[in-house]
């Protein structure tokens, strides 16, 4: 196998550093702001410090932001205070009650002209510099279509809004149809998923932390209406510094983060999380800006991976859907994509990691003659990716038979392979007393299937079906699981290694 080569990362003001080895899985923890700047705390807002870098990046890019969170999480207050700190003309619109005339004023035909003239009212959008579209998930579909050009083009009724810089929106999360997914969540009557085309026009889609995610000190500060003096922070200057640093980082990090964006979109697609080509480009831009923001706030310039991960979490349109992407899926996709983006294009390991099917990745690694330790890592990843216990058992059996005489895998790989395959490979006798009912009927169906000559099951296949009875087949269709097992035996050519 060829030696691995990492792409260097150069950060403004730091020496070159090679891509680090993949970190072990760890909780996504909030970082202390004790020695760092915090725009939200400087505004007297508690519990939002985790979002400081995303907020600063969005302000620097003047990119639309969609805040998603439960009621009472200070979404409106934060936006109002940001606009005030920046000294910008602010408009707050409740989208659930909004009429189009509230935005544009009163339309008046101009004499001798073919167009309308709008007589602005006090709340019209024409002179606004910072806009909040609140309760967006309760907005009528026809009005969403009219808000679209405001968010994306800074235009309304076909007329440009040259003064408008920041377009933010806020919403409660829509409720899932499956009641089981509502556990621990608040159900919002009337909150509906947005049109995906509208959501995709928000470069930042940010989940706001709820009460259960706040630290004890943050909860106390909120409840006590903490009145400590705000930090002496000039937000306008901080935004300009972040914008300037982001422009510099484009030259040093743009290529690496573009590679990362492509890889993470591919990894998420394999997990049935689909992002548009526009979103991939947005993610790269957001990652650069978030890293610039983190540097300006006092974080380490070398921590580019953390910035990329923070940008990923804050850039997914699915955050505004009834069932957001799981944190585990995001974490796995990020780690894989970051490692891929740190390797040279001709690196064999990169070729393997770019394969999005974890089982095919094992087969590819074996064909490319990866080192045993590297193949062992792929084996454990493939087992961990399976959500079905019968599939995990069948796959482990096929891989155990394939590699037991040809590979010296690490104990971390052999242990689950042996434990899982034992159910198929280890002889055992079980006596069960089955009362009349579903399980007895299932047993009769299984025995008829096994005794039929036309099925011609191998010993391995018979053991797999019998070994899963009755517990595995209570949760999974045994015929479907048997087909998975047959496919894995064929893919790994396991029968020739028995």
- pLDDT value of residue 113: 59
Q: What is the pTM of this model?
A: 0.81
Average pLDDT over residues 438-444: 75
Question: Does residue 25 carry a pLDDT above 50?
Answer: no
Question: Does residue 438 carry a pLDDT above 90?
Answer: no
Burial class (CB in 10 A: 0-12, 13-18, 19+), 148: middle
β-bridge mates for residue 6, sequence order = 343
Measuring CA to CA, how many Å separate 487 from each of 165, 227, 355, 484? 56, 65, 19, 5
Burial class (CB in 10 A: 0-12, 13-18, 19+), 316: buried
- Of 51-55, 92-96, 216-220, 432-436, minimum mean pLDDT range: 432-436
- Cα separation, 351 vs 365, in Å, equals 9
| Number of neighbouring beta carbons within 10 Å of residue 162 | 8
- pLDDT value of residue 184: 60
Q: What is the band of 109 on the pLDDT scale with cuts at 50, 70, 90?
A: low
- Residues 409-435 pLDDT 10s: 999 999 999 999 999 998 777 776 767
- pLDDT value of residue 228: 54
- pLDDT value of residue 467: 84
Q: Which residue has the higher pLDDT, 26 or 148?
A: 148
Domains of the chain, by residue range, sit at 8-20+37-108+118-323
- Of 46-60, 428-442, 469-483, 484-498, minimum mean pLDDT range: 428-442
- pLDDT value of residue 325: 92
Q: What is the band of 449 on the pLDDT scale with cuts at 50, 70, 90?
A: confident
- pLDDT value of residue 1: 41
457: phi then psi, degrees, rounded to nearest 5? -80, 145
Q: What is the band of 98 on the pLDDT scale with cuts at 50, 70, 90?
A: confident
Question: Does residue 237 carry a pLDDT above 70?
Answer: yes
Whether the ω angle into residue 470 lies within 30 degrees of 0, i.e. cis, is yes
Q: What is the DSSP string of 188-235?
A: -TT--PPPHHHHTT-SEEEEPP-GGGS-HHHHHHHHTT--PPPP---H
- Taking a C-beta distance cutoff of 8 angstroms, is the pair 317, 54 a contact? no
- pLDDT value of residue 20: 36
Question: Does residue 21 carry a pLDDT above 60?
Answer: no
- pLDDT value of residue 446: 76
Spell out the residues 6+ positions from residue 56 whose beta carbon is closer than 8 angstroms to its own: 39, 238, 239, 242, 293, 296, 297
- Taking a C-beta distance cutoff of 8 angstroms, is the pair 279, 268 a contact? no
Average pLDDT over residues 150-175: 93
Q: What is the band of 183 on the pLDDT scale with cuts at 50, 70, 90?
A: low
Q: What is the band of 320 on the pLDDT scale with cuts at 50, 70, 90?
A: very high
- Taking a C-beta distance cutoff of 8 angstroms, is the pair 64, 168 a contact? yes
Q: Name the most confidently modeled range: 21-25, 80-84, 383-387.
A: 80-84
Closest by CA position to 296, among listed 13, 3, 67, 27: 13
Question: Does residue 497 carry a pLDDT above 50?
Answer: yes
Average pLDDT over residues 100-123: 69
Query: Is the domain covering 8-20+37-108+118-323 a CATH 3.30.1390.10 domain?
Result: no
- Cα separation, 236 vs 184, in Å, equals 39
Closest by CA position to 283, among listed 269, 301, 263, 303: 263
- pLDDT value of residue 82: 97
Q: What is the band of 100 on the pLDDT scale with cuts at 50, 70, 90?
A: confident
- Of 28-32, 243-247, 394-398, minimum mean pLDDT range: 28-32
Question: Does residue 339 carry a pLDDT above 50?
Answer: yes
The two structure tokens encoding residue 135:
């309760």
Q: What is the band of 465 on the pLDDT scale with cuts at 50, 70, 90?
A: confident
Share of the chain above pLDDT 90, in %: 60
Q: Name the most confidently modeled range: 170-184, 209-223, 366-380.
A: 366-380
- pLDDT value of residue 22: 39
- Cα separation, 158 vs 143, in Å, equals 15
- Of 206-210, 295-299, 373-377, 424-428, minimum mean pLDDT range: 424-428
Question: Does residue 369 carry a pLDDT above 90?
Answer: yes
Q: Name the most confidently modeled range: 2-6, 23-27, 70-74, 458-462.
A: 70-74
- pLDDT value of residue 454: 60
Closest by CA position to 382, among listed 344, 422, 406, 409: 409
């Amino acid at each position: 196998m060829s030696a691995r080569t990492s792409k260097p990362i150069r950060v403004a003001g730091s020496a070159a550093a090679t891509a680090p080895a993949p970190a072990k899985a760890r909780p996504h923890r909030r970082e202390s702001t004790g020695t760092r700047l915090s725009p939200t705390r400087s505004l007297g807002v508690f519990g939002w410090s985790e979002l400081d870098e995303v907020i600063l990046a969005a302000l620097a890019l003047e990119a639309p932001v969609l805040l998603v969170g439960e009621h009472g999480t200070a979404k409106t207050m934060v936006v109002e205070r940001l606009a005030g700190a920046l000294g910008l003309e602010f408009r707050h619109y409740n989208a659930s009650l909004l009429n189009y005339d509230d935005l544009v004023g009163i339309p008046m035909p101009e004499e001798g002209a073919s167009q309308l003239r709008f007589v602005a009212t006090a709340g019209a959008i024409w002179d606004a510099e910072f806009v909040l579209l609140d309760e967006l998930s309760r907005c009528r579909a026809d009005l969403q279509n009219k808000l679209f050009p405001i968010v994306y083009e800074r235009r309304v009724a076909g007329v440009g809004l040259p003064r408008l810089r920041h377009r933010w929106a806020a919403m409660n999360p829509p409720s899932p149809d499956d009641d089981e997914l509502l556990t621990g969540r608040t159900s919002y009557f009337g909150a509906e998923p947005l049109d995906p085309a509208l959501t995709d026009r928000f470069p930042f889609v940010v989940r706001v932390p709820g009460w259960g995610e706040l630290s004890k000190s943050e909860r106390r500060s909120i409840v006590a209406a903490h009145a400590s003096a705000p930090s002496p922070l000039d937000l306008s200057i901080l935004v300009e510094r972040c914008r300037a640093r982001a422009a510099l980082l484009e030259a040093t990090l743009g290529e690496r983060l573009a590679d990362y964006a492509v890889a993470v979109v591919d990894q998420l697609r394999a997990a049935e999380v689909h992002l548009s080509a526009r979103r991939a480009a947005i993610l790269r831009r957001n990652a650069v800006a978030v890293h610039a923001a983190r540097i300006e706030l006092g974080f380490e310039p070398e921590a580019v991976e953390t910035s990329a991960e923070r940008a990923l979490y804050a850039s997914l349109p699915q955050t505004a859907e009834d069932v957001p992407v799981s944190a585990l899926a995001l974490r796995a996709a990020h780690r894989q994509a970051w490692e891929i983006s740190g390797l040279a294009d001709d690196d064999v390991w990169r070729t393997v990691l770019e394969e999005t099917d974890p089982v095919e990745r094992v087969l590819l690694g074996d064909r490319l003659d990866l080192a045993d330790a590297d193949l062992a890592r792929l084996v454990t990843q493939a087992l961990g990716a399976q959500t079905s216990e019968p599939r995990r058992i069948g796959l482990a059996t096929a891989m155990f038979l394939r590699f037991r005489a040809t590979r010296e895998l690490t104990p971390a790989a052999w242990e689950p392979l042996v434990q899982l395959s034992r159910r198929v490979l280890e002889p055992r006798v079980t006596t069960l007393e089955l009362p009349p009912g579903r399980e007895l009927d299932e047993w009769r169906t299984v025995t008829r299937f096994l005794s039929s000559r036309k099925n011609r099951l191998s010993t391995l296949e018979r053991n797999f079906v019998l070994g899963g009875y009755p517990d595995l087949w209570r949760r999974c269709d045994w015929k479907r699981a048997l087909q998975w097992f047959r496919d894995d035996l064929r893919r790994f050519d396991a029968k020739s290694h028995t």
